[in-house]
Amino acid sequence: MPWRETSVMEERLRFVARLLEGEGMSAVCRDFGISRKTGYKIFNRYKDEGLEALTDRSRRPVRYANQLPDPVEAMIVRLKKEKPHWGARKIRELLVRKLAGDVRLPARSTVHAVLDRHGLVSQARKRNRANKAMGTTLSQALDPNDL
């Protein structure tokens, strides 16, 4: 038996159609394999908004609770562009002086994350070791446990 391909919207439309025909909520929910709470949610959305309510909604949060305010982020980027050699620690200290008490100040790691997100962090240079330690050459063992 071949698979029957249906979309979420078609299933919700069939669900609502059966309810509008007069079938009971419990029986229809049981047939569709959803809880009554979900069934009532779908049906109430349909009654309030019509067919538009049967489409999938975005799961993206409306707002992010701990997101840094845009003016503070812009100030961090501006300060880094003014003083390119300053790091997250110095920029945060300057923010402490400028914004003391106005807003909640970000941690040093948050300042660094903002700078990194905007591409303003360069990798530290690797230093060449002048006197690299030289080991002794390995001797050839003739037998096991023989040095």
Least confident of 21-25, 68-72, 89-93, 124-128: 124-128
Q: Give the span between the Cα atoms of 99 and 54, in whole angstroms.
A: 47
Write down the pLDDT at residue 86: 94
The 3-state secondary structure of the chain reads: CCCCCCCHHHHHHHHHHHHHCCCCHHHHHHHHCCCHHHHHHHHHHHHHHHHHHHCCCCCCCCCCCCCCCHHHHHHHHHHHHHCCCCCHHHHHHHHHHHHCCCCCCCCHHHHHHHHHHCCCCCCCCCCCCCCCCCCCCCCCCCCCCCC
- The rounded Cα 117 to chain-centroid distance in angstroms is 14
Q: Give the span between the Cα atoms of 31 and 21, in whole angstroms.
A: 15
Q: Where are the domains of the chain?
A: 8-54, 70-117
For the chain, give the mean pLDDT.
Answer: 89
pLDDT-derived band of residue 1, with 50, 70 and 90 as boundaries? Answer: low
Is pLDDT at 147 greater than 80 in this prediction? no
Tell me the whole-structure pTM to 2 decimals.
0.51
Is pLDDT at 55 greater than 70 in this prediction? yes
Write down the pLDDT at residue 140: 82
Burial string for 53-75 (b: 16+ CB within 10 Å, else e) reads bbeeeeeeeeeeeeebeeebbeb
Can you tell me the mean pLDDT for 105-109?
92
pLDDT-derived band of residue 48, with 50, 70 and 90 as boundaries? Answer: very high
Cα distances (angstroms) measured from residue 87 to each of 69, 72, 80, 90, 102: 20, 16, 8, 6, 23
Is pLDDT at 72 greater than 70 in this prediction? yes
CATH number of 70-117: 1.10.10
Can you tell me the mean pLDDT for 46-69?
88
